[in-house]
């Protein structure tokens, strides 16, 4: 455990230094990621104004708060994409990782933890600009701020393990992109990314509660914008823990079978 913690400190520093060195490129990636919620925010603000200032249970200011916090959650939820596994396997890049005395998961997880530092620094001016433009209604209390600090990392852990598990499909086929696209479409619809789940039909809300996507995206947002009670916050963090640990167990089992099938097919 001591060795693993030391590795995480070193791996996180690498993530910080890499994105610090390429901060211009990182900022452009960030802008690209934030186009999506900005478009949603603009559209739903126009819809709310056309309906007298509300959509469902959300006012214009609450919608602004939702999508601005969404941008923060989106930055924090960046994880190793399943498409990267296709590249690693086809090109033989995985050979290097397997020769190291650490599981590739820890290498990638530590790296992405460290990279959040630079991403968050670059996110601040963008969030300020969006706040000045759309004027969100946001006044969290200490419980909500503390709950959000835990929930946003819980959401990252759930999404990271889920995407990592999806990536292992590439050990059985080097062209798994179609499967990834289907799952990402499900995430878009059932996570609260496209629209707050409360504005979706009842059956969609029920389905979303039983899938991990909501707990990576909408749950942390709802915590900070004040739409959950302290009991709901604690329960939601517990569900995140269950999803992250459960998916982690599945990942460990699938990895044992997947690595037996590995053969580099690139130069």
3-state secondary structure 22-58: CHHHHHHHHHHHHHHHHHHHHHHHHHHHHCCCEECCE
pLDDT value of position 119: 84
Place of tokens 């289907």: 182
pLDDT at 220: 96
- Residue 263 burial (CB count, 10 A): 7
> What's residue 35's pLDDT?
80
Average pLDDT per consecutive 10 residues, the chain (267 residues; last block may be shorter): 81 81 72 78 84 84 91 89 82 81 89 88 86 89 96 96 91 78 88 88 92 94 94 97 96 92 66
Report the pLDDT value the prediction gives residue 177, as an integer from 0 to 100: 75
33, 187, 26, 38: which is closest to 116 by C-alpha? Answer: 26
Nearest CA to 194 out of 14, 37, 13 is that of 37
Residue 59, SS3 per DSSP: strand
pTM of the model: 0.90
Alpha-helical segments (H) within 99-141: 104-134
Q: Residue 132 is encoded by which pair of tokens?
A: 């000045």
Q: What is the pLDDT of residue 26?
A: 72
The pLDDT value recorded for residue 264 is: 63
The whole-angstrom separation of Cα 64 and Cα 32 is 19
């Amino acid at each position: 455990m001591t060795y693993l913690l030391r590795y995480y400190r070193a791996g996180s520093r690498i993530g910080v230094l890499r994105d610090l060195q390429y901060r211009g490129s990182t900022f452009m990636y960030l802008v690209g990621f934030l186009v999506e919620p900005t478009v949603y925010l603009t559209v739903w603000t126009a819809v709310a104004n056309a309906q007298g200032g509300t959509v469902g249970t959300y006012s214009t200011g609450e919608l602004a708060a939702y999508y601005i916090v969404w941008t923060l959650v989106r930055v924090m939820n960046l994880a190793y994409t399943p498409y990267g596994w296709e590249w690693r396997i086809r090109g033989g890049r995985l050979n290097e990782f397997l020769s190291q005395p650490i599981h590739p998961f820890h290498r990638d997880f530590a790296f992405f933890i460290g990279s959040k530092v630079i991403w968050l620094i670059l996110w601040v001016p963008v969030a300020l600009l969006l706040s000045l433009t759309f004027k969100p209604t946001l006044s969290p209390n200490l419980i909500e701020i503390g709950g959000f600090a835990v929930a946003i990392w819980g959401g990252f852990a759930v999404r990271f393990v889920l995407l990592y598990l999806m990536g292992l499909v590439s050990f059985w086929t080097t062209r798994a992109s179609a499967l990834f696209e289907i799952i990402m479409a499900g995430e878009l619809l059932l996570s609260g990314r496209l629209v707050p789940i409360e504005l979706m039909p009842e059956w969609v809300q029920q389905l979303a509660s039983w899938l991990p996507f909501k707990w990576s995206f909408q749950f942390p947002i709802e915590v900070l914008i004040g739409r959950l009670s302290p009991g709901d916050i604690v329960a939601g963090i517990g569900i995140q823990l269950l999803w992250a640990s459960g998916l982690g167990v599945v990942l460990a089992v699938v990895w044992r079978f997947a690595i037996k099938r590995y053969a580099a097919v690139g130069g």
